[in-house]
């Protein structure tokens, strides 16, 4: 096969590319340039897709004897990831830019260009598995090693994208083994630290960065009964579950810490309360996608005429709301609802409704909800609302 290896400059993508070459495929390496101003991206161990990363990727390709290219996706990265990140915070949501980058850049823009150029598949260093069912339909599954599993951040992949995705590290038992293999191959990235945090925030201070990109307006901090407890410099700088930086000045009546329960951009309010009130019972997600073909309950529902209030049959799942969070047993269904944010009267939107069997804490609008059955990723949605039955003001 003709393979395009996405080379981040890290050890995982280096070993993935090497395994593709070793398997006898025609491999070409490509590094994505995501910024025209390298100083605006992280460097060193906290970085991703920087100049030093591109040089590391080039050295690996030279050692493998394969062509190497740098593709400039900086404009799409700004529009689809950075601008989206700003817009989500402006609307009081907490986005995951790495999910958006996987969705819009690494497995949309990159794959689209690769297929147009005649490549059969794109290889990355993600720890996840793509398998085919009896009918040959591709499914996304967790990696063999739970601790390194990255299927959550790949939950945005679609059925068509899975047809052209290959993850050679799927069955690798540990990162140590990957590093050992890189060392045996003589790769200089064998001991390179993993990248983490948000690549386009150079200093790692998200709140300071947002201050420069969003117009902040001071407003009120309230409890769930509507009492004003203090002032905030801008609601967009807060996220659900946050404890530090509230500066309320006086303790709660019971002396326990307060946490951000909700950010309300329309009224510019931050709602706070006890840790117990962070627990949610129901999550509603929008912008749903399916990793592979939808399961029968969903496929049948999607084939029907949309109408307000229509619901699919319920199905049992596990739900995961963060990359390294434990999945929680839940029941889900799909539902058509009136889209109150659409300018078109009577417009409908599809929502994924998940009732969790054990309470989840710190669930914020804008986060990604990924649902599973066993090891299989069914799909994902962007969290629009999370409800707690313990809160009297949840419909306020």
Residue 103, Cβ neighbours under 10 Å: how many?
26
CB-count exposure of residue 371 (10 Å: 0-12, 13-18, 19+): buried
Helices (H), the chain: 11-22, 51-64, 74-77, 83-90, 97-101, 110-116, 159-162, 175-184, 206-213, 296-302
Catalytic residues: 101, 199
- Among residues 33, 28, 102, the alpha carbon closest in space to that of 65 is found at 28
Distance CA(120)–CA(95), nearest Å, equals 32
Residues near 393 by Cβ (< 8 Å), separated by ≥ 6? 224, 225, 226, 271
Residues near 196 by Cβ (< 8 Å), separated by ≥ 6? 46
């Amino acid at each position: 096969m003709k393979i395009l290896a996405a080379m981040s400059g890290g050890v995982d993508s280096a070993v993935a590319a090497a395994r593709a070459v070793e398997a006898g495929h025609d491999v070409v390496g490509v590094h994505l340039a995501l910024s025209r101003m390298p100083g605006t991206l992280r460097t060193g161990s906290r970085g991703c897709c920087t100049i030093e990363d591109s040089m590391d990727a080039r050295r690996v390709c030279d050692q493998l004897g394969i062509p190497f290219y740098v593709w400039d996706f900086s404009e799409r990265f700004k529009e689809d990831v950075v601008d989206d990140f700003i817009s989500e915070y402006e609307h009081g949501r907490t986005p995951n830019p790495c999910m958006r980058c996987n969705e819009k850049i690494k497995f949309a823009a990159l794959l689209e260009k690769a297929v147009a150029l005649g490549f059969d598949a794109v290889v990355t260093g993600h720890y996840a598995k793509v398998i085919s069912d009896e009918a040959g339909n591709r499914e996304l599954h967790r990696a063999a090693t739970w601790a390194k599993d990255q299927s959550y951040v790949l939950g945005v992949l679609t059925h068509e994208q899975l047809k052209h995705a290959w993850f050679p590290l799927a069955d690798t038992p540990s990162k140590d083994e990957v590093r050992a293999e890189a060392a045996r191959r003589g790769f200089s990235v064998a001991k390179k630290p993993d990248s983490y945090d948000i690549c386009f925030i150079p200093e790692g201070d998200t709140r300071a960065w947002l201050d420069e990109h969003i117009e902040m307006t001071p407003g009120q901090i309230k409890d769930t009964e509507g009492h004003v407890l203090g002032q905030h410099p801008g609601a967009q700088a807060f996220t659900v579950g946050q404890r530090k930086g509230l500066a309320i000045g006086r303790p709660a009546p019971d002396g326990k810490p307060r946490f951000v329960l909700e950010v309300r951009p329309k009224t510019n309010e931050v709602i706070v309360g006890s840790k117990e009130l962070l627990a949610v019972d129901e999550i509603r997600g929008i912008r749903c996608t399916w990793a592979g073909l939808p399961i029968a309950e969903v496929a049948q529902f999607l084939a029907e005429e949309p109408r307000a209030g229509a619901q699919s049959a319920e199905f049992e799942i596990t739900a995961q709301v963060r990359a390294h969070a434990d999945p929680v047993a839940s029941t889900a269904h799909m539902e058509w609802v009136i889209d109150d944010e659409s300018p078109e009267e009577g417009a409908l939107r599809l929502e994924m409704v998940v009732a969790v069997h054990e309470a989840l804490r710190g669930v914020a609008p804008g986060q990604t909800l990924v649902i599973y059955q066993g090891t299989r990723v069914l799909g994902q949605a962007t969290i629009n609302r999370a409800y707690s039955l313990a809160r009297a003001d949840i419909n306020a």
